[in-house]
């Protein structure tokens, strides 16, 4: 790696960063593109490899945006309810899909590419705002982008579950590369966080208040904060806490005096977020559907030991730099990054039902301290002759978990056992059914199908379902049990579910027959049979 020093990002550096970002995006999308281009016989690839249930809900929100809506509700539940301006990015993409005439699924993945490229370039911008040494910038970029922990080796041995949560295998928002595999708003959030952190590092350095060009960046901080309040407001909480703690410490060190300059930058992050925070609270308090969604949307933190192991080698590498930063507690960069990690940990283990959401951005300060320690401690113990080999070994080693989660969903395709990936793949006749429904239903119509089919019906057909998602179906546990019982029934008490939710169409196909004989369908009127899948109406 280069040892050049430069204040600004030179054109050659931008070329390197763009090439590296493009390579990482291509790597992330290679399995998806390969699966999409593969002949899967009687199986239909539904459009998402990683975390397909949530991807299906994002596409359903885009469908609502494509129809002209901004206030978005949940199509994965049968109850009509008022929408809200909460998942703004996806209805926006739906509007863009309508204007560009791109299919919603295509627009979704195009946006994923754009968000990923933005995130990687923002990470390099943050690196350049901290280090003048090009080598250090590239080390930070590599660790922040692809660094992960030991879940790939310990997870299969010790078990992976909701109670044994391995961050590097199950929490994509914490790891930039992993985030690009699952949605649009995770990498977009990480990119905004990286740029915001870059501005804060620059603004808090001694003498920054005398630099006119730095002062002109304050509106950009406000804009980034506003964007984050719309796409991922939880990301702002740890950073805002860290900034407040930073100013309080400066106030204490300077005998209860703090500069208005630093206070303005902190307020630039806090004040723009307040109106949207009030709006979120009002929506969850006054809208029963969103209140139920908030109650069900439980994402708890991993156990502390698994958190440490999930951050793995990058965290262990950074320990000397963390100790030094804690002991000396000086320098804008060290102090801000250390306070950011502490704030994330504090939020992570507060008694809330969204603990895990506060992990987003955690790899940024972890990679910062890993880079500091590599430059100041570890590389001093490695002969210059062997440093190339050291990085050749280090970079793949910290990226194994990322490669594990990247390629794991492809195994059923490679082995020809697509029945082992229900949901990501459905029998091809279901795609015909969705197209048939799309031309005959709207977003007020309710369809009954198995859970694995219902997750895709809103995005593919633009219709509601009785049960489709563990968070976005109201009373999800109860509805799932009732749907499964309906298909497993021998024909008794078939009408209650249909009448309660005003079901317009019922789907019976291979996925439904896995639940039972679907004898209740005999009490309904057959409408059409498309291959192995039949559609009924009450």
Contact between 438 and 418 (Cβ < 8 Å): no
The CA distance from 437 to 447, in Å, is 9
Q: How confident is the model at residue 351, as a pLDDT?
A: 92
Q: For 446, list phi and psi in degrees, rounded to 5.
A: -115, 135
Count CB neighbours of 318 within 10 A.
Answer: 27
Closest CA to 171 of 324, 294, 354: 354
**CA torsion angle 278 284 285 286 (round to 10):** 100
Give, for all 538 residues of the chain, the pLDDT tens digit: 555 877 778 889 999 999 999 999 999 999 999 999 988 889 999 999 999 999 999 999 999 999 999 999 999 999 999 999 888 999 999 999 999 999 999 999 999 999 999 999 999 999 999 999 999 999 999 999 999 999 999 888 887 777 678 999 999 999 999 999 999 999 999 999 999 999 999 988 877 777 778 888 899 999 999 999 999 999 999 999 999 998 888 887 766 666 777 888 899 999 999 999 999 999 999 999 999 999 999 899 999 999 999 999 999 999 999 999 988 877 778 899 999 999 999 999 999 999 999 999 999 999 999 999 999 999 888 888 888 888 999 999 999 999 999 999 999 998 888 888 888 999 999 999 999 999 999 999 999 999 999 999 999 999 999 999 999 999 999 999 999 999 998 877 888 999 999 999 999 999 999 999 999 999 999 999 999 999 999 9
Q: Per 3-state DSSP, what percentage of the chain is helix, strand, and coil (rounded to 5)?
A: 65, 5, 30
3-state secondary structure of 466: coil
Contact between 436 and 468 (Cβ < 8 Å): no
Q: How confident is the model at residue 258, as a pLDDT?
A: 66
The CA distance from 1 to 20, in Å, is 14
In sequence order, the 6+-apart residues with CB closer than 8 A to the CB of 177 are 24, 28, 145, 146, 148, 399, 402, 406
The CA distance from 231 to 65, in Å, is 15
Closest CA to 105 of 144, 66, 151: 66
């Amino acid at each position: 790696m280069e040892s050049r020093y430069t204040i600004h990002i030179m054109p050659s550096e931008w070329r390197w960063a763009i090439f590296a970002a493009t390579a990482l995006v291509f790597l992330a999308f290679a399995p998806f593109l390969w699966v999409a281009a593969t002949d899967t016989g009687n199986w239909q690839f539904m459009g998402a490899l990683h975390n397909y249930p949530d991807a299906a809900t994002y596409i359903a929100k885009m469908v609502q945006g494509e129809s002209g809506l901004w206030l978005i509700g949940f199509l994965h539940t049968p109850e009509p309810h008022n929408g809200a301006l909460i998942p703004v990015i996806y209805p926006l993409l739906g509007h863009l899909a309508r204007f560009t005439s791109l299919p919603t699924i295509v627009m979704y993945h195009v946006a994923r590419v754009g968000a990923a490229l933005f995130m990687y370039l923002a990470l390099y911008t943050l690196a350049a705002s901290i280090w003048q040494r090009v080598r250090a910038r590239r080390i930070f970029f590599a660790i922040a982008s692809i660094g992960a922990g030991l879940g790939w080796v310990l997870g299969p041995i010790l078990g992976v579950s909701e109670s044994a949560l391995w961050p590097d295998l199950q929490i994509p928002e914490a790891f930039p590369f992993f985030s690009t595999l699952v949605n649009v708003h995770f990498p977009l959030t990480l990119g905004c966080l990286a740029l915001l952190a870059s501005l804060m590092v620059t603004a808090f350095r001694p003498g920054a208040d005398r630099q006119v060009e730095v002062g002109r960046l304050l509106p950009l901080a406000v804009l980034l904060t506003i964007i984050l309040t719309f796409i991922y407001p939880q990301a702002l909480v740890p950073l805002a806490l860290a900034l407040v703690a930073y100013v309080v410490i400066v106030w204490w060190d300077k005998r209860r005096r703090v500069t208005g300059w630093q206070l303005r930058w902190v307020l630039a992050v806090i004040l723009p977020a307040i109106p949207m925070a009030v709006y979120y609270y009002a929506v969850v308090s006054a809208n029963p559907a969103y209140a139920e969604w908030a109650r069900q949307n439980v994402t708890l933190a991993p156990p502390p030991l698994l958190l440490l192991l999930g951050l793995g080698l990058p965290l262990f590498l950074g320990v000397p730099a963390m100790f030094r930063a804690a002991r000396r507690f000086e320098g804008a960069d060290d102090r801000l990054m250390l306070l950011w990690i502490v704030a994330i940990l504090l939020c992570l283990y507060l008694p809330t039902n969204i603990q895990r959401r506060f992990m987003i951005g955690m790899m940024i300060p972890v990679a910062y301290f890993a880079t500091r320690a590599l430059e100041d401690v570890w590389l001093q113990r490695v002969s210059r002759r062997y440093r190339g080999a050291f990085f050749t070994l280090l970079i793949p080693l910290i990226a194994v978990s990322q490669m594990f989660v990247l390629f794991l969903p492809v195994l059923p395709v490679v082995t020809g056992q697509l029945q082992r990936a229900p949901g990501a793949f459905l029998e091809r006749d279901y795609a015909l059914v969705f197209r048939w429904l799309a031309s005959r239903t709207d977003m007020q119509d309710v369809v009954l199908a198995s859970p694995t089919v219902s997750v895709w019906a809103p995005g593919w057909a633009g219709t509601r379902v009785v049960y489709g998602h563990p968070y976005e179906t109201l009373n999800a546990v109860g509805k799932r049990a009732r749907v499964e019982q309906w298909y497993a029934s021998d024909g008794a008490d078939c009408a209650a579910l249909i009448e309660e939710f005003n079901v317009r169409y019922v789907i019976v196909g291979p996925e439904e027959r896995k639940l039972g004989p679907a004898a209740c369908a005999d009490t309904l009127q057959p409408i059409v049979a498309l291959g192995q899948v039949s559609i009924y109406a009450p």
